[in-house]
Amino acid sequence: MNISKSIIAIALLLGGTGCALLSSPVWAATSAPAAVVTQRHAIAIKIRNTVIGEGVPKIIIPTTGSTAEQVLMQARAIGENPDADLIEFRIDYLDFAVDAAQVAALGQQIVALVHGKPLILTFRTKAEGGAREISDKAYGQLYLALIKAHFIDILDLEMFRQPAMVHQVLAAAHQAGIKVVLSSHDFNKTPETAELVARLRRQDAMGADILKIAVMPHNVADVLKLLDATAQVRDHYSRKPLLTMSMGGLGAVTRLSGQVFGSDLTFGMSGEASAPGQIDASSLRQVLNTVNDAMEAK
């Protein structure tokens, strides 16, 4: 990662065409807000010793192992990595992904290795870019069983699964004291800005604690759509923490500039990436700190 080039890229997005797009809200394409958000910062969420929605965006590093041994080795490294704020336990990569008892036992071992860093549990389905296909029924049953195992801090729940199941899992997670990320992923394209805004607002209305969207850009305009949507939701619709990104190399700047536009979390990697465009966590930390220093100096 070339830090100088990253900062230049952020500057270019903030100037010229970027400013023109970001200054053109799409209110006509979305329903009128119930209330206008008047403060730009998110309402912070504290999980263990990590505060999400305050200061520099927090870095999540995912596991990518298929065996318990691989995942435990990765978890140990993430726990010792000073640039990792949270660990994402990606269970769809596991050889035993649908075995709730084995997954729960491994999850509890991970918690013991990561020195108090919050654990996000994620089964990313094949339909949204993950490693495995799974039915709505099996997805819901697996999540409900894992919620009862009491090792999860944050649960990633895909918003476009069967509505009744999503509602049931979300309610069960909240009853257990688990925060919920409602998520939407498009590995093929970037929807229009109005659609991105609408999805994030719908996640908010559904009761998510953290709003997440990840999309694939085909050009710079697509990257700007994601940044525009993030800024609109933060400025006008919600103070819940946001996790938004444009994927691939073209979208890498969105992983670096979250603090400018309103995204409170970002994904880094240590070893193998779990999605296109992820950046080494140490390089990512340097850029995030540089952006934060510049913003605080204004």
Q: In what order do the strands lie in the sheet with 58-62?
A: 242-246, 210-215, 179-186, 154-158, 119-122, 86-90, 58-62, 265-269, 279-280
Nearest partner of 51 among 283, 282, 289, 265, judged by Cα = 265
Q: Residues with Cβ < 8 Å from 105, sequence gap 6 or more?
A: none
Q: List % helix, strand, coil for the chain (3-state, nearest 5).
A: 45, 20, 35
Task: State the catalytic residue, choosing from 58, 117, 179, 212.
Answer: 212
User: Is 212 noted as a catalytic residue in this protein?
Assistant: yes
**87 has which bridge partners?**
61, 119
Nearest partner of 84 among 240, 268, 220, 263, judged by Cα = 268
CA distance 51 to 130: 28
Task: State the catalytic residue, choosing from 179, 185, 225, 240.
Answer: 185
- The tokens for 191 are 């929807």
User: Is 189 noted as a catalytic residue in this protein?
Assistant: no
Catalytic (active-site) positions: 185, 212
